Amino acid sequence: MLADYFVNRPVFKDPVFRTRYRMSLNLFKRISTDLCQYDRYFVQRSDATDKVGLLPEQKMTAALRMLAYAEYLRAPTTADLRRLLAKAERRGFPGMIGSIDCMHWQWKNCPTGWAGEYSGRKHIPTIILEAVASYDTWIWHAFFGMPGACNDLNILAKSPLFDELTAGRAPLIQFQVNNRAHSLGYYLADGIYPRWTTFLKTVRNPTRPKEIEFAKTQEGYRKDVERCFGILQSQFGIVRGAARGWHKEDLRYIMLTCIILHNMIVENERPEDSDDELESDDEEDNNMRPRIAEVWEGPTGRDFDPVGRDAHHMNGFMDRYQQIRSEHSHSNLQEDLIQHFWEFQGNMSI
């Protein structure tokens, strides 16, 4: 690392350093100097056996990597949700915050004793990644490590995807379509996922014109996450090929590192004015199509608890748990969005 970036004549010049560290070398050195003066942890020291410890550059690099985990591998904030919801409305799906699916990564060096558990229908050991991606292929949720013999429902049962929402700590999303109010954002999903309020599935064997148009568009937008998997594999050959590691935890670090780098690339290549375009169109367009979905800071517990109990109370927890898994609400959401999208397509064609 020192030879690559921190000697007088490094292997990689400033542009490469900026790409990796998201800052200039001069700024990095200034921060490192200030940290060493503020906290002796960052100063290189010897232990009781006179073994020399890590350099300040190494410790700061490790700290920046941990910060990258927080920034580039996290759930969307309120500001993020507003941007995602604005884009979803422009696509005709108010309340949508991404699409969800799973990807299998072949495990070449899977221990023999685990081969049966990790082998799916293709009889090849794999490890599964569950991911939620938005329209720009940014990965907002990554749950990695489930055996390849599991299906998407098994993974969902173990996934922390809705933990914050069930606990009442997620931002509150509300939107109204077809004159009916809804209080949960949703993900586009394929047929194997359950009929929950938080999933919007396609129409099986559509017959009416509005159902046909809805199904075609839903299936197209749902491929955002599949497109994300393709980009991830094309960018990083280690994910495209079979995993050669022996330890599952090492493979988890590799996968999450690739996802973080992928998100950094997405952010770097995103046009600077893209958010502004999503937040505000021209005045005439805003008057014709007012904002349908709104989002506020949590807690969500107050919205779900009809008798006003504390969000952390068990009854409130169960109210939210059942609300998320309501098949009736799923049917209402699907019906409302089919009608809304049909009218949306008609308005767009005028």
Amino acid at 56: P
> The tokens of 229 are what?
């998997």
Higher pLDDT, 252 or 347: 252
Q: CA separation (Å) from 17 to 20, 35, 68, 269?
A: 5, 20, 15, 17
> Residue 131: what residue type?
A
Reported as a pLDDT band with limits 50, 70 and 90, residue 142 is very high
Q: Cα separation of 227 and 75, whole Å?
A: 20
DSSP H helical segments within the chain, as ranges?
Answer: 14-21, 25-38, 56-72, 78-91, 115-118, 152-158, 163-167, 209-235, 237-240, 248-269, 274-279, 283-288, 301-304, 314-324, 327-349
Around 266, how many Cα atoms within 13 Å sit in the side-chain half-sphere? 19
Out of 165-174, 225-234, 276-285, 322-331, pick the least confident. 276-285
Residues contacting residue 348 through CB under 8 Å, at least 6 positions apart: 92
Of 187, 103, 111, which is closest to residue 144 (Cα–Cα)?
A: 103
> CB–CB of 182/333 below 8 Å?
yes
d(CA 129, CA 254): 12
Handedness of CA 7, 13, 18, 21 (dihedral sign): negative
For every residue of 105-144, DSSP letters joined together read EEBTT--GGGHHHHB-TTSSBEEEEEEEE-TT--EEEEEE
H/E run at residue 299: none
- Tell me the chain's radius of gyration from C-alpha atoms: 24
> What pLDDT, in 10s, does the model give residues 307-345?
444 444 567 888 999 999 999 999 999 999 999 999 988
Cα-Cα end-to-end distance for the chain: 59
Confidence band (pLDDT; 50, 70, 90) for 285?
very low
Share of the chain above pLDDT 70, in %: 88
> What is the Cα–Cα distance from 273 to 281, expressed in whole angstroms?
12
Amino acid identity at 298: G
How sure is the predictor about 290, in pLDDT bands with cuts at 50, 70 and 90? low
- CA–CA gap between residue 130 and residue 143 (Å, rounded): 5
Q: If you average pLDDT over each of 8-22, 35-49, 262-276, 332-346, which comes out highest?
A: 332-346
Region 267-292 average pLDDT? 56
Which carries the bigger pLDDT value, residue 17 or residue 222?
Answer: 222
Encode 193-208 in three state secondary structure: CCCCCCEECCCCCCCC
Q: Is the pLDDT of residue 284 over 50?
A: no
pLDDT of residue 297: 76
More confident residue, 89 or 293: 89
Sorted by sequence, the CB contacts under 8 Å of residue 270 that are 6+ apart come out as: 136
Tokens of 219: 């299936």
Torsions phi, psi for 134 (to 5 deg): -100, -175
Instruction: Share the mean pLDDT of the chain.
Output: 86
Which are the contacts of 208, defined by CB distance < 8 A and separation ≥ 6? none
Backbone angles phi, psi at 22, to 5 degrees: 65, 25
Q: What is the mean pLDDT of residues 190-219?
A: 95
- Looking at residue 90, its pLDDT comes to 93
Chain Cα centroid distance, residue 60: 26
pLDDT over threshold 90, residue 276: no
**What pLDDT shows up at residue 313?**
58
Report for 46-50, 67-71, 122-126, 266-270: range of highest mean pLDDT: 122-126
Asked which of 29-38, 86-95, 141-150, 298-307 is least confident by mean pLDDT, the reply is: 298-307
